[in-house]
Chains A and B, each alone.
Chain A
Amino acid sequence: MGTLASVFEQSGLATVAISIIREQIEATQPPRALHCEFPLGRPLGKPGDSIFQHQVLDAAFDLLKAESGPVLVDYPEEINDDADAPLSCTIPPADDSDKHPAEAEARGLLPVWRRSYEKYGRTTVGKVVTPEQVPEIITLFARIADGEDWTSVGLPGDPTKLGADIKNFYEEASLSLSDGVPGARQAETWFVTQTKAGDVIQRARIALEKQEAGSYFTTYILPMTQVRDPEGDSND
């Protein structure tokens, strides 16, 4: 972010950067930066809160009054995430077919995901598969988790991108299973700790490690906040 700001400034554009990781902005020294102690993914702080967003923007654009730089100012209000408080969601009845329980769970969530999509008009699912394909992909990960060779189960693409499609599908479905706007990472923690699919991906991650699938796959298939061993060992 800081380096990019300097590239634009050097090209003749005045820049103001919002920062979320203070040490990175200190290291890269953009001309003007407003550091905000906000959760990653929410640089304007509060989704759905136009007043708060305007306050952040006013503070950012105020930096344009400085006559020399670098300028680094801290926004006075901090926002914490809610990773330790998973969303409270009642998962609808699973598809009653003979599918893997995690696939059946996801099939039961499809109508819920559709409600979220209709409400917000936006999805982050689709790196490799469509929302309708997510349930069947979960079964492929369940086979990996149960010990099958990851290269032979028929994954239609990069496991990390497929893992993202599954996680994002669940997080978006959760928006229709809870009240209001969730805190940052609440849906993520719900997916990983409260759902059958989350358990499958966690166990598949461990299986991928054992199969030496490659650090890229095992590092990015789940957020670093959620890496734990379901058999007992937990993260810190």
Chain B
Amino acid sequence: MSDKVVRKMLSRLEGYSFDEVPWVSPKPLSECRVAVVTTAGLNQEGNADWNPGDQGFTVLSGKKGDFTLGHFSPNFDRTGWVVDSNVVIPLDRLNEMAAEGKIGSVSDTHISFMGAQPDHTLETIRLDTGPAAAKVLLEEEVDVVLLTPV
């Protein structure tokens, strides 16, 4: 079975959409502070675990690095991550873009949740942990968020 077949099977999962698409018009990208929010289940401090159904989040320090991928699902490739973490959280690439002036700056603070949540309504993320994580980034004066799945 190929990855494409897996993606087709997973496409049948339900999703939650907002009644109205929220919209923020950003400043020019060259003036924006950028952070990454990933659903890869990343941790720091060597923790390689993340429990199924946990809709919490981790705050990641880009300067510290040394991320550990703890996502519970076996249904995705991990060797790409082991070889090059930029394939999930592209901080080296963003720093290069900042040096080139394409983006204003890269936040030192990034966020991870874990995808593949059994509760497709994501009630905890929508009402609690999501807004709390956004507050963390707003306090870091982040303008733009790049979201990456696994």
The chain A residues found within 8 Å of chain B, CB to CB, are 1-24, 27-31, 37, 39-48, 50, 53-54, 57-58, 60-61, 64, 67-70, 80-81, 83-84, 116, 120, 122-128, 160-161, 163-164, 167-168, 171-172, 174-175, 181-182, 184-188, 216, 220-226, 235-236
Cβ-defined partner of A185 (8 Å) among B3, B22, B125: B3
Chain B residue at minimum C-beta to C-beta distance from A79: B3
Cβ-defined partner of A225 (8 Å) among B2, B26, B81, B115: B2
B145 interfacial contact with A, CB 8 Å: yes
The chain B residues found within 8 Å of chain A, CB to CB, are 1-7, 9-18, 21-26, 29, 32, 37, 39, 46-49, 52, 67-70, 72-88, 90, 92-94, 96-97, 102-103, 113, 115, 122, 125-126, 130-131, 133-135, 137-138, 142-150
Of listed B75, B96, B138, B142, residue having the most chain A CB within 10 A: B75
Tell me, in angstroms, the Cα distance from A224 to B78 when the chains sit together: 15
Cβ-defined partner of A181 (8 Å) among B75, B80, B147: B80
Residues of A within 8 A of B75 (CB): 40, 223-225
Of listed B3, B5, B90, B126, residue having the most chain A CB within 10 A: B3
Are the CB atoms of B24 and A13 closer together than 8 Å?
yes
Tell me, in angstroms, the Cα distance from A39 to B14 when the chains sit together: 20
- A223-B74, A225-B1 in contact; A23/B90 too (CB < 8 A)? no
Are the CB atoms of A31 and B23 closer together than 8 Å?
yes
Residues of B within 8 A of A3 (CB): 15-18, 122, 125-126
Cβ-defined partner of A124 (8 Å) among B32, B81, B84, B134: B81
Are the CB atoms of A20 and B146 closer together than 8 Å?
no
Cβ-defined partner of A39 (8 Å) among B12, B21, B32, B77: B77
Residues of B within 8 A of A16 (CB): 144-147
Are the CB atoms of B22 and A9 closer together than 8 Å?
yes
Residues of B within 8 A of A161 (CB): 49, 72
Are the CB atoms of A45 and B90 closer together than 8 Å?
no
Report the minimum CB–CB distance from A150 to chain B (whole Å).
Answer: 18
Cβ-defined partner of A50 (8 Å) among B76, B79, B92: B92
Chain B residue at minimum C-beta to C-beta distance from A220: B74
Report the minimum CB–CB distance from A172 to chain B (whole Å).
Answer: 6
Residues of A within 8 A of B11 (CB): 21-24
Report the minimum CB–CB distance from B126 to chain A (whole Å).
Answer: 6
Tell me, in angstroms, the Cα distance from A29 to B18 when the chains sit together: 8
Chain B residue at minimum C-beta to C-beta distance from A68: B23
Residues of A within 8 A of B68 (CB): 122-124, 126
Chain B residue at minimum C-beta to C-beta distance from A119: B83
Are the CB atoms of B88 and A44 closer together than 8 Å?
yes
3 closest A-B pairs by beta carbon, nearest first, are: A11-B134, A23-B11, A41-B76
Are the CB atoms of B87 and A40 closer together than 8 Å?
no
Report the minimum CB–CB distance from B54 to chain A (whole Å).
Answer: 13
Are the CB atoms of A21 and B10 closer together than 8 Å?
yes
Tell me, in angstroms, the Cα distance from A64 to B82 when the chains sit together: 30
Residues of B within 8 A of A120 (CB): 82-83
Cβ-defined partner of A7 (8 Å) among B81, B102, B126, B143: B126
Tell me, in angstroms, the Cα distance from A186 to B78 when the chains sit together: 11
Tell me, in angstroms, the Cα distance from A184 to B122 when the chains sit together: 29
Are the CB atoms of A83 and B1 closer together than 8 Å?
yes
Of listed A16, A21, A216, A222, residue having the most chain B CB within 10 A: A21
Residues of A within 8 A of B146 (CB): 15-16, 18, 57, 60-61
Are the CB atoms of A171 and B22 closer together than 8 Å?
no
Are the CB atoms of A14 and B88 closer together than 8 Å?
no
